[in-house]
């Protein structure tokens, strides 16, 4: 379809195309007309069908027939029947509408009033909604302004934090460079320290071998002489010579009895395991000293016995209500019946003994211990360089420090089936070297590690 005043269509071009099309059709010959088959004969019509074919009368008769059927149809009211009459029905319907016009006008006016009231209500609601919407817009604007202000402040904070972070990163990079330099220096120091430690170890082994040879010579020379008295209950120096020396010595250098008892509490679990199930445990402390361990055993409900050759130590124990005797410890153990003791202890004693005396003490202990019993021998730990090089020699009656592996080997060689080394009493953390490097860790272990260790041996139960 071509619209008028269409700027995209050229009328002359359209006219030219139409003329060309008409010319082509004139030149094209028409196809031969097809012969149509003869029409079938028309059927016979009834009088009703013939009346319908009359131009005006037929339509009028059909109209009147349908109206008559509508009027006579069952179930239709009187108003509908009158309305269906030709002309009369339309006239009656018109008169009825004119008569009903005042009521319709009143109803329409009432509907218009109701619509006006509804319109006013809607207008008021729209105004209230508009006001609410404006208030919401105002609040949203305030909230957005506040949010924008907070965002600007956050951006400023982030910028300041980024600046501080960049400054700290620069400082950390500088520190990292310094730490790398220090690390290189520490590695070099570690290498030198390892070389020195190796040299010290080699020199120590040579000195140990030399001292061992000298000790064997001294023991051979002293074999013919009278045995030197011991300290701590195993052949001590004669009491008239020492007097109260060792009691005053322990008061100054060993510490208060309360501190000694605290250092001995780690042995209580071993004690409980040894005396569990025993009706009347027998416990003896060789070289009992001032009686700190005896008091600790008495607090556990036991009745221990203390053995010491120092009369001052024995008297100090008895003054505290403890059972103590002035006897030789090895001789007392040999006098006991086999398998009769549940606990044998000797704190800071074996470092006073010669090798022969230490072996005799172990043999007597093994003979006297009951199955399941234990023996505890505490001594200074020479693995701590400060202890091995200095603190061990505070006591002038000490002979030689005994390394833990050597003590364990001697106990196993003498026949103890259960042997354990328990290292105790390291220096406080306040004395440790700061730094987490390997050099500081090794120095802390060598200088400030456990100051004492205990050789804990025992017999197996009869059913083991």
Span 126-152, pLDDT tens digits? 898 889 889 988 898 888 888 888 889
Question: What are the chain's domains?
Answer: 239-458 (3.40.50.150)
DSSP symbol at 267: G
**Paired tokens of 420:** 């354990």
CA gyration radius, the chain: 63
First to last CA, the chain: 118
**Mean of pLDDT values over 244-257:** 72
Task: Pinpoint the alpha helices (H) of 233-267.
Answer: 239-242, 245-253, 257-264
* Most confident listed range (197-211, 268-282, 436-450): 268-282
- Does 66 have pLDDT greater than 50? yes
* Highest-scoring range by mean pLDDT, 209-213, 241-245, 438-442: 438-442
| Distance in angstroms (rounded) separating the CA atoms of residues 445 and 436 | 13
SS3 423: strand
Instruction: Give Dmax over CA atoms of the chain in angstroms.
Output: 175
Q: How far apart are CA 297 and CA 304, in angstroms?
A: 7
Distance CA 404, CA 238 (A): 30
Q: Express each pLDDT in 378-388 by its tens digit.
A: 999 999 988 88
d(CA 20, CA 306): 145
Nearest alpha-carbon partner for 83 in 73, 70, 66: 70
Averaged confidence pLDDT in the chain: 81
Residue 457, pLDDT > 90, answer yes
Does the pLDDT value for residue 392 go beyond 80? yes
pLDDT at 337: 94
Tell me the pLDDT tens digit for each residue of 319-376.
999 999 999 999 999 999 999 999 999 999 999 999 999 999 999 999 999 999 999 9
Contact (Cβ atoms closer than 8 angstroms) between residue 342 and residue 283:
yes
Which residue, among 291, 275, 445, 288, has the nearest Cα to 343 in the 3D structure?
A: 275
pLDDT digits 0-9 by tens, 162-173: 888 888 888 888
Q: Strand pairing of 305-307 and 450-458?
A: unpaired
Q: Which residues contact 235 (CB under 8 A, 6 or more apart)?
A: 227, 228, 229, 309, 328, 330, 357
What local confidence, expressed as pLDDT, does residue 225 receive?
A: 46
Q: Concatenate the DSSP letters of all residues of 336-383 into one string.
A: SPTT-EEEEEEES-GGGS-HHHHHHHHHHHHHHEEEEEEEEEEEE-TT
pLDDT band of 436, cuts 50, 70, 90? confident
Q: What is the mean pLDDT of residues 223-232?
A: 44
Give yes or no for residue 410 having a pLDDT over 70.
yes
- Position 229 confidence tier, pLDDT thresholds 50, 70, 90: very low
Quote the pLDDT of residue 301. 92
Contacts of 365 (CB under 8 A, 6+ apart): 333, 344, 375, 457
Q: What pLDDT score does 295 carry? A: 94
Whether 185 has a pLDDT exceeding 60, the answer reads yes
Write the pLDDT tens digit of every residue in 193-208. 777 777 767 666 665 6
Residue 368: count of CB within 10 angstroms of its CB: 22
Task: Band the pLDDT of 244: cuts 50, 70, 90.
Answer: low
For residue 103, name the pLDDT band (cuts at 50, 70, 90): confident
Residues 451 and 380 sit within 8 Å (Cβ to Cβ): yes
pLDDT of residue 235: 42
């Amino acid at each position: 379809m071509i619209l008028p005043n269409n700027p995209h269509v050229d009328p002359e071009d359209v006219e030219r195309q139409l003329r060309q099309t008409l010319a082509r059709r004139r030149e094209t010959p028409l196809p031969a007309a097809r012969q149509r088959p003869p029409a079938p004969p028309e059927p016979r019509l009834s009088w009703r069908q013939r009346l319908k074919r009359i131009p005006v009368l037929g339509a009028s008769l059909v109209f009147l027939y349908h109206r008559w059927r509508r009027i006579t149809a069952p179930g239709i009211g009187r108003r509908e029947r009158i309305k269906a009459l030709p002309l009369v029905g339309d006239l009656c319907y018109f008169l009825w509408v004119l008569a009903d016009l005042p009521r319709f006008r009143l109803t329409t006016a009432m509907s218009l009033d109701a619509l006006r009231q509804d319109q006013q209500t809607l207008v008021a609601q729209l105004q209230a909604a508009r006001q609410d919407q404006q208030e919401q817009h105002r609040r949203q604007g305030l909230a957005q302004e506040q949010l924008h202000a907070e965002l600007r402040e956050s951006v400023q904070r982030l910028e300041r934090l980024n600046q501080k972070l960049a400054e700290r990163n620069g400082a950390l990079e500088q520190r990292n460079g310094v730490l790398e330099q220090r690390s290189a220096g520490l590695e070099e120091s570690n290498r030198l320290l390892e070389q020195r430690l190796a040299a010290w170890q080699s020199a120590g082994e040579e000195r140990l071998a030399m001292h061992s040879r000298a000790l064997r010579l001294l023991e051979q020379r002293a074999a013919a002489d009278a045995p030197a008295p011991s300290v701590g209950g195993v052949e001590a120096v004669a009491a008239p010579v020492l007097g109260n020396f060792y009691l005053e010595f322990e008061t100054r250098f060993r510490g208060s009895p309360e501190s000694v008892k605290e250092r001995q509490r780690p042995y209580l679990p071993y004690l409980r395991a040894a005396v569990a199930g025993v009706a009347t445990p027998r416990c003896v402390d060789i070289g009992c000293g001032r009686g700190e361990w005896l008091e600790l055993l008495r607090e556990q409900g036991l009745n221990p016995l203390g053995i010491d050759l120092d009369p001052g130590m024995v008297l100090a124990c008895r003054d505290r209500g403890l059972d103590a005797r002035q006897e030789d410890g090895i001789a007392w153990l040999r006098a006991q019946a086999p398998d009769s003791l549940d606990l044998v202890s000797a704190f800071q004693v074996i470092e006073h003994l010669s090798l022969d005396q230490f072996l005799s003490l172990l043999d007597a202990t093994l003979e006297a211990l009951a199955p399941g019993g234990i023996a505890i021998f505490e001594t200074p730990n020479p693995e701590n360089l400060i202890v091995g090089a200095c603190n061990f020699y505070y006591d002038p009656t000490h002979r030689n420090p005994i390394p833990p592996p050597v003590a364990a080997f001697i106990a196993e060689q003498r026949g103890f089936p259960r042997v354990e080394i328990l290292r105790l009493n390291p220096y406080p953390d306040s004395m440790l070297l700061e730094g987490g490097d390997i050099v500081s860790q090794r120095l802390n272990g060598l200088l400030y590690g456990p100051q004492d260790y205990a050789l804990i041996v025992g017999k197996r139960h009869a059913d083991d």
